[in-house]
A and B are shown apart, each in its own frame.
Chain A
Amino acid sequence: MTNRDEAVMSPKFGNVPKSSAGRRQGRMAVAADGWRRWWPYYVMMAPGILFFLVFHYLPIWEARIAFEQVRIVPPNIWVGIKHFQVLFSSPVFWQVLANTLIISAMKMVFFLPVPIIVALLLNEVRGGSLRKFIQSAIYLPHFLSWVVIAGIFIAALSPTDGAVNNLMGMAGMAPRSFMTDTGAIRWVLVFTEIWRSAGWDSLLYLAAIIAIDQQLYDAAEIDGANRWQKIRHVTLPGIVPTIATLFILNAGMFLNADLNQVINLSNDVVRSKIDIVDTYVYRIGLQTGEYSLATAAGLFKAVLGTMMIVIAHFVSKRLTGKGVW
């Protein structure tokens, strides 16, 4: 980081004269010299830059249909904030926004601690190969698509021959159809999120734990600290910055309740409970064809989300020195 900042601050190509006329001349000389030296880099970067402009910036331009009436025969008509007014007066939209916030909050409370606990436990495992075996197993789900994970859980939660209901049956409980249970489906989202990423995310905390100065543990040992005292007074304080960073960054992503997850675990019965902004945009936009309204909803989320993530970045940077980028 410092390297790069320094580099930006001190351009290597020539001294810039102080007088204003001289400065302009100098700047042109610098530009000409710069171009002669640097054009090959721009040739090499051209495909990448083009991809960014076309596939990231053209969509921003296309998003103007949020302010337009789409007509079959162009041009579209400018209607200002009409679609936003329709959106904000729609109870469905507020329900969807509420769902998004509820699901994000549930994940934050019930997901975030799990990888921390897993990392703390893993750190206690001494045998190198035992630890490697556990890690190899619990990291795997992170690399499976949500289509696959949804497939796995539709099977595992099946009321007739799913593992969960088989276990409940052994305990004498009545079978429950979790995937079509409006009371259970949000917990299915939380649990599948834990299943997929708690193992992998523990790696981030494990990296922080490994970075803790071994001397602190030795000192604690001399003071007669037992396992739990070491965890409480050395390990946990050592990873607080990482916890804070990930917590803040998660808060910044609050409006992203994971489209890929929800779209694969949703169905007509439970939709009202887990329809989030992204699935709403997909449904009314690409399935119903209300492009302008859907774009307005997407844009609302994007603007709010950007504000949140930028705030999260600076808060995190201030508190822990680590940001989003």
Chain B
Amino acid sequence: MALSRKTPIERIEYAIIVSTLLLLVVVTVQPILNLLAVSLSEPAKVPGMSGLTIIPRGFSFEVWSVLLQHPNVQRGIFNSIFITAVSTVIGVVGTALMAWGLSRPGLPGRKALFILVLVTIVFEPGIIPDYFVNKRLGLLDSYWSVILFKAVNAWYLIILIRFFEEIPKELLEAAELDGANPFQVFWHLVLPLAKPALATISLFYLVFHWNEFFRAMIYLNDQGKWPLQVVLRQFVIDGDKVAIVGANNASNNTGASQIDLRSLKAGMILLTIVPILAIYPLILKFFTKGTMSGALKG
């Protein structure tokens, strides 16, 4: 913009606006950068380190290497990746198939199915009945309790239905006239056209499942099946350091016992964010679009 045209007051206003927003950026990012600095400092120099700094004291990968070699952390990483990957695939496939049927105007029983889905959005009987359903199905303490439970999300389903409805009718009718059955139309026509929408809900599922901890916490007793979020929660929120540091510091040989707890906690928190940061450019691209196009729930 032609800044020269602006009056001094307007320039000051603009400076205030931009600095307010930059302050917001600092408040958002600084706590994370501080943890990064703590986790990358030489562990011995961490005690007494300010919460304000974003520069490591000394430089060392020791915390990260100890964490990444820790059997419980490795287990958590594996569990998180496994649960997230399988849940996302099941969720996307189930959602896409169901959305395809529900997006067809003439489908008999379509309205009833919509009501079936909408009821689940407004009425949730709560965590105890959920727990008992899991128990009754024999899913407790199995990966499947976390993977299968509520695998198809009603909101994502609605987003996908809206997208499928926008596919030009003429295209679908032409394919049907050529003798393609609904499976073929779905596979050869709808899916390729819906790539951006599928990418969006895949990311929705991916982020949701990676961040999920509550169900894993109540359905999985076996610590060997815990995803990273639950391992992190036990260590940082509950302050139970046994799983990471060991019950007795002296007899522990994982290396974690030698390191300041603050560094280990900082490292664990960041470790859990890494995958989100890795796909963040994609998130920005697809989530932004998805939200802009009218989905109120993010």
Could you list which residues of chain A lie within 8 angstroms of chain B, going by C-beta atoms? 3-4, 6-8, 11-13, 31, 34-35, 37-38, 40-42, 44-45, 47-49, 51-60, 62-63, 65, 118, 121-122, 124-126, 130, 133-148, 150-156, 158, 161-167, 195, 199-201, 203-204, 207, 226-227, 245-246, 249, 259-260, 263-264, 278, 281-282, 285-286, 291, 294-295, 297-299, 301-303, 305-306, 309-310, 313, 322, 324-325
Contacts and interface: CB of A to CB of B under 8 A. Distances in A.
Nearest to A60: B125
Given A155-B51, A195-B28, A124 B17 contact: yes
Given A137-B29, A281-B128, 19 more contacts: A6-B105, A31-B108, A44-B182, A47-B93, A54-B133, A59-B132, A60-B129, A62-B132, A118-B24, A138-B25, A145-B210, A145-B213, A148-B229, A148-B272, A152-B31, A203-B292, A245-B296, A305-B124, A306-B122
B95 interface: yes
A281 B17 CA distance: 44
Given A142-B298, A147-B237, A324-B121, A59 B133 contact: yes
A41 B110 CA distance: 11
A148 B128 contact: no
Contacts, number: 292
Contacts of A138: 24-25, 28
B157 interface: yes
A264 B217 CA distance: 12
A203 B287 CA distance: 10
A156 B95 CA distance: 40
Contacts of B157: 48
Given A48-B97, A48-B157, A259-B214, A295 B128 contact: yes
A247 B268 CA distance: 37
Contact of A143 (B128, B165, B262, B276): B276
Interface string B200-222: 00000001001111100010000
Given A141-B28, A259-B214, A298-B129, A44 B269 contact: no
Interface of B: 1, 10, 13-14, 17-18, 20-22, 24-25, 27-32, 34-35, 48-52, 93-95, 97-98, 100-102, 104-108, 110-111, 113, 116-133, 136-137, 148-152, 154, 157-158, 165, 181-183, 186, 207, 210-214, 218, 229-230, 232-233, 236-237, 262, 265-266, 268-269, 272-273, 276, 280, 283-284, 287-288, 291-292, 296, 298
B90 to A, nearest CB: 8
A144 B232 contact: no
B101 A41 contact: yes
Contact of A310 (B113, B122, B132, B137): B122
B87 to A, nearest CB: 12
A144 B128 contact: no
3 nearest CB pairs, A to B: A298-B126, A7-B105, A48-B98
Given A147-B237, A153-B31, A278-B127, A162 B296 contact: no
A163 B133 contact: no
Nearest to B24: A138
Contact of A145 (B182, B211, B265): B211
A3 B134 CA distance: 39
A307 B283 CA distance: 34
B44 to A, nearest CB: 15
Nearest to B123: A306
B128 A298 contact: yes
Given A4-B165, A44-B186, A48-B98, A134 B106 contact: no
B168 to A, nearest CB: 12
Contacts of A163: 30-31, 34, 50-52
Contacts of B110: 8
Given A52-B120, A302-B126, A45 B51 contact: no
Nearest to A47: B94
B101 A42 contact: yes
Contacts of A245: 296
A48 B237 contact: no
Contacts of B113: 45, 49
Contacts of A59: 124-126, 129-130, 132-133
Given A140-B28, A150-B237, A302 B50 contact: no
B122 A309 contact: yes
